[in-house]
């Protein structure tokens, strides 16, 4: 039900407190952190801890008293509690998360539990999670437990494009896949009047940001991947990092989500896809979503784009080699469960429609 004031529908949007992006931005981390407190607890993704330990220490030295912690690998209740305990023990006044999704989410959730500000320093641009007020909590065995919604977005998202340019291009491509969903899902929500992550329709800016996100990835995606192969933080790569992290982040939270992510959730029911990245599966969700609407011309355009930016276009590309009727039914059932975001689409969507859309991607 729409929330209304005396004068009309209540609409909203939310944003990270600050966003800074530059090649070499790690050099700004200390001065930025000092704006939030004197002592920082820094959670560093275990995969890059050894590579970044010295650079992080020297960036923070002279600005804040920093305690670096190697992330255990999972964003679970136990690891969130362990980080919070360590930060409390060190009398931290700010939490800094460094790395990919799970380390960043652990930092966000621990900061929330301690009532401290959080700085997010992503070292890959593989999804639009860094700017969001959302963390995905996993069980210790690696299965998803629940999404946890935070009272506010990160206080600062600081992005060093020189580091992102040196990460494998597959991560950047996956981020383009996640960013690809943003316009189509926000536009569906705009047309249906569905709610965004604030449980209200988005303001018009949210949809303009989503459109800018789409236009940016279409224009600069292929060039950015070539530059990432060369390890170069080029102007095209700068635009794609901004689209993947900032534009897509604002666009999905404030514009709303719909079929592409619902189909992603359905695909994740299959063991086959577990070695594929979030954004790779979301790209398949976008293509299936266009089929749901019978938008064949847009489908061909998006499929060609996906091929140009190394994103999957067929179920086999994400590991579903044997796309049996039974498997597709499992995906469709999860995607269409009651209350699921697929029902944010402006048309009624049934399990049969999802199965047919997926069959077009065999």
Binding residues for NAD(+): 101-105, 132, 134, 138
Candidates 22-30, 32-40, 117-125, 172-180 — which segment interacts with Zn ion by CB under 5 A?
172-180
Candidates 45-53, 64-72, 171-179, 317-325 — which segment interacts with Zn ion by CB under 5 A?
171-179
Could you tell me the sign of the dihedral formed by the alpha carbons of 244, 249, 255, 257, in that order?
positive
CA angle 155, 156, 157 (to 5 degrees): 135
State the nearest-atom distance from the C-beta of 244 to Zn ion, in Å: 10
The residue among 66 and 309 lying less far from Zn ion, judged by its C-beta, is 309
Q: 317 catalytic, yes or no?
A: no
Is 32 one of the binding residues for Zn ion (CB under 5 A)? Answer: no
Q: 178 catalytic, yes or no?
A: yes
Give SS3 for 153.
coil
Among candidate residues 178, 187, 227, 276, the one labeled active-site is: 178
C-alpha distances (whole Å) from 124 to each of 16, 23, 297 are 18, 13, 32
- 24: Cβ–Cβ under 8 A, 6 or more apart, which residues? 160, 162
Q: 71 catalytic, yes or no?
A: no
What count of other Cβ atoms lies within 10 Å of the Cβ of residue 6? Answer: 4
Output the known binding site for glycerol. Answer: 128, 178, 261, 278
Place of tokens 């010295």: 54
Q: 278 catalytic, yes or no?
A: yes
The residue among 44 and 277 lying less far from Zn ion, judged by its C-beta, is 277
State the nearest-atom distance from the C-beta of 61 to Zn ion, in Å: 36
State the nearest-atom distance from the C-beta of 38 to Zn ion, in Å: 35
State the nearest-atom distance from the C-beta of 348 to Zn ion, in Å: 24
**Residues in a beta bridge with 160:** 22
State the nearest-atom distance from the C-beta of 248 to Zn ion, in Å: 8
The residue among 155 and 178 lying less far from Zn ion, judged by its C-beta, is 178
The residue among 60 and 261 lying less far from Zn ion, judged by its C-beta, is 261
Output the known binding site. Answer: 101-105, 128, 132, 134, 138, 178, 261, 278
Among candidate residues 71, 264, 265, 276, the one labeled active-site is: 264
Q: Can you tell me which of 74, 93, 105, 178 binds Zn ion, judged by CB under 5 A?
A: 178
> Structure tokens of 156?
């600062």
The residue among 160 and 178 lying less far from Zn ion, judged by its C-beta, is 178
Helix, strand, coil % over all residues of the chain, rounded to 5: 55, 15, 35
The residue among 105 and 178 lying less far from Zn ion, judged by its C-beta, is 178
**Residues in a beta bridge with 158:** 20
- 337: Cβ–Cβ under 8 A, 6 or more apart, which residues? none
Candidates 20-28, 140-148, 178-186, 299-307 — which segment interacts with Zn ion by CB under 5 A?
178-186
Candidates 152-160, 173-181, 207-215, 222-230 — which segment interacts with Zn ion by CB under 5 A?
173-181
DSSP string, 248-294: HHHHHHHH---HHHHHHHHHTTSGGGTTS-HHHHHHHHHHHHHHHTT
* Residue spans of beta strands (DSSP E) within the chain: 4-5, 8-9, 19-22, 39-44, 65-70, 94-99, 118-122, 134-138, 144-149, 156-160
State the nearest-atom distance from the C-beta of 176 to Zn ion, in Å: 12
Which residues are marked as active site? 178, 261, 264, 278
Residues in contact with Zn ion by CB under 5 A are: 178
């Amino acid at each position: 039900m729409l929330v209304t004031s005396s004068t009309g529908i209540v609409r909203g949007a939310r944003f990270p407190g600050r966003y800074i992006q530059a090649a070499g931005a790690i050099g700004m981390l200390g001065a930025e952190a000092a704006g939030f407190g004197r002592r920082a607890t820094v959670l560093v993704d275990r995969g890059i801890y050894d590579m970044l330990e010295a650079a992080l220490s020297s960036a923070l030295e002279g600005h804040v008293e920093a305690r670096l912690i190697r992330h255990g690998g999972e964003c679970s209740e136990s690891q969130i509690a362990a980080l919070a305990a360590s930060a409390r023990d060190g009398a931290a006044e700010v939490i800094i998360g460094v790395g990919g999704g799970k380390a960043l989410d652990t930092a966000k959730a621990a900061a929330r539990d301690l009532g401290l500000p959080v700085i997010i320093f992503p070292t890959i641009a593989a999804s639009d999670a860094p700017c969001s007020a959302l963390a995905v909590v996993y069980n210790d065995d690696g299965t998803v437990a629940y999404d946890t919604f935070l009272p506010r977005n990160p206080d600062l998202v600081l992005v060093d494009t020189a580091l992102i340019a040196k990460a494998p291009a597959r991560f950047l491509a996956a981020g383009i896949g996640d960013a690809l969903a943003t316009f189509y899902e926000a536009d569906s929500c705009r047309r249906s009047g569905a709610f965004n992550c604030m449980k209200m329709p988005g303001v018009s800016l949210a949809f303009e940001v989503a459109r800018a996100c789409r236009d940016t990835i279409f224009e600069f995606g292929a060039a950015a991947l070539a530059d990432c192969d060369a390890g170069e933080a080029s102007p095209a790569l700068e635009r794609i990092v901004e689209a993947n992290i900032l534009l897509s982040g604002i666009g999905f939270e404030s514009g709303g989500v719909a079929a592409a992510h619902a189909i992603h959730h359905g695909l994740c029911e299959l063991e086959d896809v577990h070695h594929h990245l979030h954004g790779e599966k979301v790209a398949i969700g976008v293509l299936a979503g266009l089929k749901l609407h019978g938008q064949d011309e847009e489908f061909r355009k998006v499929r060609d784009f996906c091929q140009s930016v190394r994103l999957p276009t067929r179920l086999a590309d994400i590991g579903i080699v044997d796309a049996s009727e039974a498997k597709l039914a499992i995906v469709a059932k999860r995607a269409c469960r009651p209350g699921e975001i697929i029902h944010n689409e402006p048309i009624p969507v049934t399990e049969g429609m999802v199965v047919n859309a997926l069959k077009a991607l065999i």
